[in-house]
Structure 1
Amino acid sequence: MDNQPPRHGGSTFGHRVIDRDREEADRRLWNDYFSEYPKYSEAMFRHDNYFVQRKDRIGRLGLSTLQKVTAAFRVLAYGILANAADEYIQIGESTTIESLKRFCRAIVEVFGERYLRAPNANDVAQLLQIDEKRGFPGMLGSLDCMHWTWKNCPTAWAGQYAGRSGEPTIILEAVADYDLWIWHAHFGMPGSNNDINVLEGSYLFSNLANGIAPPCHYVIHGQQYHTGYYLTDGIYSKWSTLVQTIHEPRGPKNKLFAMMQEACRKDVERAFGVLQLRFSIVKGTDTFLG
């Protein structure tokens, strides 16, 4: 037994082994971005000058770009407190908070035009095509709210922000589609509000009330419609643009409708779940809203 070659763990019997050229990938990554003369230089990227490493008055180098960005990543991904990054990255609490704010602001500035927008005509056409196959022609997504815990809520505000769990929360309202793309987000309402109050305070409500909606044209049983709708749970008002499930459905048709509506409405709940799983700061205790 002692003469047998060592075995390496990690592989699973029966699985196909992919021969990846890891060394070449590492060289390519280094040459493209991190070498002395990279293919993609700093001039090709938009960024905040805050993240550029500088020297202080005595010539000592300050925090590097990697330290500031990594601190922001760790807070977002793991939900750690701002002062917890100091142990590994050697960065102060206030600098971590500033790095997080500037990083998030830069992401919005760079990607906001592409990802923080209402659906256009092409997006709506794709949504209608997919949702018609799912049994809901004219559906633009699913609407719901989630509560974001506010651990460091000021004591004077705790009452108005106390949510269903009894602890202070802030509400996020969102509309998500079948592939978890969030088309609408409204954040900041105190946790003591219910979903109807949040909807009335969001621009989605004001747009619907004023007849402003994404371009939408579809036909059901020969009747043409020009306004899409959103799937919701039972707490929302009975509007033509909000389609609720049937409470205690009776009969095969109502039961089938309720089953299909609730299955499609899970889109937004799944989006919330993925958001919390990917960014632990969403589900964890929060220290930056104080």
Structure 2
Amino acid sequence: MSHANLMNNYFNPNLVYTEEDFRHRLQMRRHVFERLLRYVQQVNPYFQQKRDRAGRPSFSPHQKVTITLRMMNYGSPVDSMDETHGMSESTCLDTLEQFCDTILQVYKDEYLREPNQEDLNRLIHKAEDRGFPSMIESLDCMH
């Protein structure tokens, strides 16, 4: 039921919430969410739909990624996910850990690295255009 509500609200053709609602609540555009969902499903079998021991469908990939993003975006406590999404605290924590590990695996080489000279030049140019000419020198985040 939780999966059906999520799909009806945000993903099905006759969705309840607009693109702006989606962006506001999940802090990203729907197409970015869907691309992220595809990547985590391809890389980590944890995010593929399975059946539990009783033969019922387990949490959907959409549910797992949405719940993880809500915990990360809003600092939502894991016990609140049980009340709103029916996901236990231990499953929430497992899902968060699996998601973070997968994101590291997928994006580490591209985004989680020290900036190269091309990156720095692009950032300096962007900062100068916005009126912050010595932005890079003021940041000491590389240590």
| TM over 0.5, shorter chain | yes
**Paired residue type of 2:86:** Q
Deviations 1:14-35 (A, max 9, x none): xxxxxxxxxxxx59xxxxx9xx
Q: Which consecutive residues of structure 1, in runs of 5 or more, have no partner in the other structure?
A: 1-25, 28-32, 34-41, 145-174, 176-183, 185-203, 205-290
Change (3 A) 1:131 1:92: closer
Equivalent of residue 87 in structure 1, options 83, 89, 113 = 83
Instruction: Report what 2:93 is aligned to.
Output: 97
Question: How many aligned positions are there?
Answer: 106
Maintained 8 Å contact 2:124/2:133: no
Larger radius of gyration: 1
1:72 aligns with 2:68: yes
Matched residue, 2:47: 51
Shift of 1:128: 5.0
Are 1:121 and 2:117 counterparts?
yes
Give 1:55's aligned amino acid: R
* 1:77-226 map, 5 Å: 77-127=73-123, 129=125, 136=134, 140-143=136-139, 175=141, 184=142, 204=143
- Give the structure with the higher percent helix: 2
Q: Which amino acid aligns with 1:96?
A: C
- Whether the 8 Å contact between 1:67 and 1:91 is mirrored in structure 2 is no
Provide Cα deviations, 1:36-61, integer angstroms capped at 9, x if missing partner: xxxxxx69x63311121212333222
CA deviation string 1:202-248 (max 9, x = no partner)? xx3xxxxxxxxxxxxxxxxxxxxxxxxxxxxxxxxxxxxxxxxxxxx
**Normalised TM-score (structure 1):** 0.31
The structure that is strand-richer by fraction is 1
The alpha carbon displacement at 1:131 in A equals 6.4
What are structure 2's unaligned runs of at least 5 residues?
Answer: 1-12, 15-30, 32-37
Secondary structure of the residue aligned to 2:139 is strand
Pair 142,66 (structure 1): closer, same or farther in 2 beyond 3 Å: same
Q: What's the % identity of the aligned pairs?
A: 35
Say what the alpha-carbon RMSD is for the aligned residues.
3.0
Whole-Å separation in 1 of the counterparts to 2:138 and 2:45: 39
Alpha-carbon deviation of 1:130? Answer: 5.8
- CA drift at 1:101: 1.1
Which AA in structure 2 matches 1:117? R
Alignment of 1:60 with 2:52, yes or no, is no
Following the alignment from structure 1 to structure 2, what is the Cα–Cα distance between the partners of residues 102 and 123? Answer: 29
Residue 126 of structure 1: CA displacement?
3.3
Distance 1:47 1:143, change over 3 A: same
Give CA-to-partner distance per residue, 1:172-194, whole Å, 9 cap, x none. Answer: xxx3xxxxxxxx3xxxxxxxxxx
Amino acid of the structure 2 residue aligned with 1:62? S
2:76 maps to amino acid: I
Question: Is the 8 Å Cα contact of residues 47 and 60 (structure 2) preserved in structure 1?
Answer: yes
Shift in Å, 1:67: 2.1
